[in-house]
Structure 1
Amino acid sequence: MTSLAQDRPEKFRIGRVFSNSFAVIGRNLGFLAVVVGLFSTLPALLYNLWNLSRVATLVNVDSAGNAAAFETSAMGDYSGLSIVASLIIFVLALLVQAALVRAAIEDLNGKRPVIGDCIQIALRSFLPTLGIGILIIVTLVVAVFVMVFIAWVIPPIGWLIGLALAFIPAFMWLISVSVSVPIAVQERLGVFGSISRSRALTKGSRWSIFWLLLIIGVAAMLIQAVFSLFFGLALATAGGVTGVGVLVGAIGSTLVSTIFSTMLSVTIAVTYVELRQVKEGTSVDELAEIFS
């Protein structure tokens, strides 16, 4: 394990970020198995098992011709529990991301991340991390709402107008604040201070960050689509959702989502380090000093 505290790079490089991200993951498989496994994979697996089992119940009831009565009595409880479970998974995902930021910086500095230390840092920065997460979700919801509203008011070209006036600006803003969580963890600037700092750091590199995140997103969607296709074919062959189908579907979807969420979290942390080195010439050991 070697430190990346080298000469100041001249430009943000997607290839270098990917290389460093895969290197961080490869050197810390045990750490990831514990932290990501306990706080991300396990909760997601339990939720997917529960969710798919409910789907199987609906399918089986529907085949018996009693779906309407079942939905009336069960859909309210199902929706409420889904919301609670989603919130818990969201909170745990924020904690995992903060812990991975700490782990990535420690690794790039030539040190071995310590699980207890990373969790402590994640808990300490939880509130600003949560605030950033909520702002991002609200921004997406508002952008989608405005786009749909414009499409409804001005058919049939409203979708294009809404896309140009709402969704694209919101998406570009999200790119500009993409390293807010690492900043909140590393520099302790709070919610709005971290967002402002992220916008300053990403300026001049936002298109590169866009392509970086697009590559990860497209890869995730393709693999998820392939898995969903094979899972759907298996269900069609079996004639319905079986217990084995629920188990396979839950494990498969959980692994796909966990792998790419981990990759995304580590890549965002490495992107933050890369931006600091490119724009400010900050070495990784200087980045790690705040944690000493």
Structure 2
Amino acid sequence: MKFDLDTAWKDTTGLMSRNLGLLAVIAGVFIFLPNAGIAIALPEMGNLEDAQASGNFDAMMAAINDLYASYWWVFLILALIQGAGLLAMLALVRRRANPTVGEALSTGAKSVPSYVGAQLLQTALIAIAVTLLVGLGAVTGLRALAVLGAVIAFVVVCYIVTKLSLAAPVIAIEGELNPIKALQRSWSLTAGNSLRLFFFYLLLIVAFIVLSTVISLVLGLIFALAGEQAALLGEAVISGLLSAAMIVVTACVLAAAHTQFNRLKAAPLPPTNN
């Protein structure tokens, strides 16, 4: 049986509508406030936004490098907080025992080390694959092979990320705290449906980019009309809101996909004609 994109989206929207109030509370505390706070507190964020607005790629990369070099520890803490929030949302929407918000937060907090371990292992796997594929093409000195290696590396990265994308719900919903087993479980669940799952993610990412761009432009213009300080505050608020919305949707998408894959694995095989 195949992964059904329409069913996954209906399950996603159902989870959001049934749990929107509680998800909004968690997203507000773990996603919106930290992101908006960082945008307001770090003056270098303004330099990054100016570089992005200029359209100069080198200036933008320099601003990003300077920002992370100076405040890497802030972004590390932010990533841990957001990871705990994501795991808490997953536990909230799909734990069979219907946990309270407090129980979901407790699950999220205790699952963070496993989630971080899984992310580090995934990053290491991607780094090895990219290094081998891009490095082999670069060693030959042939531009065509280097470009081909980069293209293949991009495809491999997309494949790995898709195959391992269900590690978070495996950890938060199934309670698997061994990061290696969580990754193995994700790989097994997505077997035979990786391409369908990738296109489901891709469609959602494209839709979110378009929608968030429009929202940022419209709200950014409204705040800009109120003055420079209002514009800075508005950018922080917009960034926090979009980040919170993204994590809420991500949690529901992952939970819906995880549930459908569990149903597919549990479904009996169709009879065969001998």
TM-score range, shorter chain: 0.7 to 0.9
2:57 maps to what in 1? none
Q: Which 4+ stretches in 1 moved above 6 angstroms? A: 57-60, 231-235
Structure 1: state its 5+ residue gaps: 1-9, 61-74, 283-292
Structure 2 residue corresponding to 1:31, chosen from 22, 39, 52: 22
C-alpha distance after superposition, 1:78-137 (max 9, x if no partner)? 54443112111111121112112211214xx5x754111101112222221111122233
Does the 8 Å contact 2:12/2:256 carry over to 1? Answer: yes
**Structure-2 change in CA distance of 1:243 and 1:174 (3 Å):** same
Does the 8 Å contact 1:143/1:167 carry over to 2? Answer: no
1:29 Cα deviation from its structure 2 partner: 2.0
1:54 aligns with 2:83: no
C-alpha distance after superposition, 1:176-231 (max 9, x if no partner)? 11111211231425111111111111101112211111112111222333345557
Residue correspondence of structure 1 range 115-126 to structure 2 within 5 A: 115-126=101-112
**Structure-2 change in CA distance of 1:141 and 1:115 (3 Å):** same
Which residue identity lines up with residue 173 of structure 1 in the other structure?
Answer: I
Which residue identity lines up with residue 254 of structure 1 in the other structure?
Answer: G
1:92 aligns with 2:78: no
Structure 2: state its 5+ residue gaps: 51-63, 269-274
Does the 8 Å contact 1:151/1:162 carry over to 2? Answer: no
Q: Which deviates more from structure 2 when the two are superposed, residues 273-282 or residues 250-259?
A: 273-282
2-structure distance, mates of 1:133, 1:57: 29
**Structure-2 change in CA distance of 1:231 and 1:116 (3 Å):** closer
Which residue identity lines up with residue 78 of structure 2 in the other structure?
Answer: I
Does the 8 Å contact 1:182/1:272 carry over to 2? Answer: yes
**Structure-2 change in CA distance of 1:37 and 1:231 (3 Å):** closer
2-structure distance, mates of 1:97, 1:257: 12
1:188 maps to what in 2? 176
1:147 Cα deviation from its structure 2 partner: 6.4
1-structure distance, mates of 2:67, 2:177: 39
Structure 2 residue corresponding to 1:179, chosen from 159, 163, 166: 166
1-structure distance, mates of 2:220, 2:94: 41
2-structure distance, mates of 1:58, 1:161: 31
1:247 Cα deviation from its structure 2 partner: 0.9
1-structure distance, mates of 2:65, 2:79: 21
Does the 8 Å contact 2:220/2:235 carry over to 1? Answer: no
C-alpha distance after superposition, 1:248-285 (max 9, x if no partner)? 11111221222122101221112111101111149xxx
Which residue identity lines up with residue 44 of structure 2 in the other structure?
Answer: R
1:145 Cα deviation from its structure 2 partner: 5.5
Which residue identity lines up with residue 77 of structure 2 in the other structure?
Answer: I
2:34 maps to what in 1? 43
Superposition TM-score, scaled by structure 1 size: 0.74
Does the 8 Å contact 1:147/1:162 carry over to 2? Answer: yes
1:268 aligns with 2:254: yes
Query: SS at 1:160's partner residue?
Result: helix
Cα root mean square deviation, aligned: 3.2
Superposition TM-score, scaled by structure 2 size: 0.78
- What is the count of residue pairs matched by the alignment? 251
Structure 2 residue corresponding to 1:213, chosen from 186, 201, 209: 201
Structure 1 residue corresponding to 2:115, chosen from 129, 144, 148: 129
Structure 2 residue corresponding to 1:101, chosen from 90, 95, 100: 90
